[in-house]
Amino acid sequence: MMHALPHDRIYDEAPLYDLAFSYRDIPAEVDFIEAAYAEATGSARPRRMVELASGPGRHAQEFARRGVSAHAVDLAPAMVAFGQQSAQTAGVHVQYHCGDMRDIRLQPPADLVVCMLCSAGYLVEEDDLARHLRTVRDLLRPGGLYLAELAHPGDIPADADGGRTQNEWTMDGPDGVLDVSWAEAPDAESPGERTVIAQARLTWTPRDGAPRVVEANSAQRVYEEREWRHQVAACDGLSFVNSWGAFDPHVGVNAPEAWRMIVAVRRS
Ligand SMILES: C[S@@+](CC[C@H](N)C(=O)[O-])C[C@H]1O[C@@H](n2cnc3c(N)ncnc32)[C@H](O)[C@@H]1O
């Protein structure tokens, strides 16, 4: 059964989501974003940034830690509440907003907008990407940069190429163990050629209790680079700058070791 918010039951469990994806090296990812920003804009560091579909907003928090004025936007109220709480605990100031990456408006304009961890894969309806790009353009100052981390185009179906990324993993938390599974739903019919029904499952086993399973299915699109280039070209005021296959400036999208598609787009 599909729900109004994508993977709603998963994103309702914000602390579990945060633990599930805490294997990432967020400071290193932010170093990469800052280098891409400096190269594309000629400015050292953004002064103001917005993270879209931010979840807990861990990238926004890292930017805030570096002195950047940071905003985080997510559709799921539980994510926004958890993000606010975790920023407070970490002692960093991030402004959180409950909003949609297809139509959020914020002022003043930002130097940098980011959308991390394949969140743009939730842009599945026909005009979603165009709406999203217009939204990003209107969030940015002239000359500002947008960077999106997307699933690699070869990840369709999710495990077809022998696994650029892992579909199942386990995280050890202070209070228990979390088993994560994120893969194409076995019995679901694909809604479109590049859109799959992704089944997300979190199995939480507290140190002193029985396992609890949280599961949800949702449509996710695995974009090709040419779709982004085409849609960016069609959006007045934006131009495609660059793409990479990892958080490494030397890895292109078509390199054998590529596991993501990271795209950079500039506002003219
Ligand atoms: C895979 S999580 C990624 C979160 C975060 N970017 C990160 O790196 O951890 C996807 C997030 O996108 C959010 N989301 C999905 N559709 C959205 C939309 N249309 N607008 C804003 N947020 C959205 C979900 O609520 C969820 O928090």
Local confidence pLDDT in tens for the 268 residues of the chain: 444 688 899 999 999 999 999 999 999 999 999 999 999 999 989 999 999 999 999 999 999 999 999 999 999 999 999 999 999 999 999 999 999 999 999 999 999 999 999 999 999 999 999 999 999 999 999 999 999 999 999 987 555 555 688 889 999 999 999 999 998 888 788 888 899 999 999 999 999 999 999 999 999 999 999 999 999 999 999 999 999 999 999 999 999 999 999 999 999 9
Cα–ligand 1 centroid distance for 149 (angstroms): 12
Q: What are phi and psi of 190, to 5 degrees?
A: -65, 130
Cα–ligand 1 centroid distance for 37 (angstroms): 22
Contact 45, 51 (CB under 8 A): no
Cα–ligand 1 centroid distance for 256 (angstroms): 28
119 C-beta closer than 6 A to ligand 1:
yes
Report the alpha-carbon distance of residue 201 to residue 55 in Å, rounded.
17
Contact 122, 6 (CB under 8 A): yes
Please give the DSSP secondary-structure letter assigned to residue 120: G
Cα–ligand 1 centroid distance for 73 (angstroms): 9
101 C-beta closer than 6 A to ligand 1:
yes
Which residues share a beta bridge with 262? 149, 244
Report the alpha-carbon distance of residue 30 to residue 41 in Å, rounded.
16
Closest ligand 1 atom to the C-alpha of 76?
A: 25
Helices vs strands, H then E, count in the chain = 7, 11
Cα–ligand 1 centroid distance for 210 (angstroms): 29
Extract long-range pairs of 104-108: CB within 8 Å, 24+ residues apart: 104/52, 104/73, 104/135, 104/139, 105/135, 105/138, 105/139, 106/50, 106/71, 106/73, 106/139, 108/48, 108/141
Closest ligand 1 atom to the C-alpha of 102?
A: 19
Report the alpha-carbon distance of residue 38 to residue 262 in Å, rounded.
16
13-26 burial: b if 16+ Cβ within 10 Å, else e: bbbbbbbbbeeeeb
Which residues share a beta bridge with 206? 176
Closest ligand 1 atom to the C-alpha of 122?
A: 16
Closest ligand 1 atom to the C-alpha of 115?
A: 6
Residue 258 is encoded by which pair of tokens?
């590529």
Report the alpha-carbon distance of residue 115 to residue 124 in Å, rounded.
15
With the most atoms of ligand 1 within 8 angstroms of its CB, the residue from 75, 115, 133 to mutate is 75
116 C-beta closer than 6 A to ligand 1:
yes
Q: Which fold is adopted by the domain 8-155+220-267?
A: Rossmann fold (3.40.50)
pLDDT at residue number 184: 86
Q: Is 199 strand, coil or helix?
A: strand
Report the alpha-carbon distance of residue 266 to residue 268 in Å, rounded.
6
Contact 21, 117 (CB under 8 A): yes
pLDDT at residue number 200: 95
Cα–ligand 1 centroid distance for 128 (angstroms): 14
Domain range annotation of the chain: 8-155+220-267, 168-219
Strands (E), the chain: 48-52, 69-74, 94-98, 110-115, 140-151, 168-173, 176-184, 195-206, 212-221, 238-244, 260-267
Other C-beta atoms closer than 10 Å to the C-beta of 221 total 24
pLDDT at residue number 5: 87
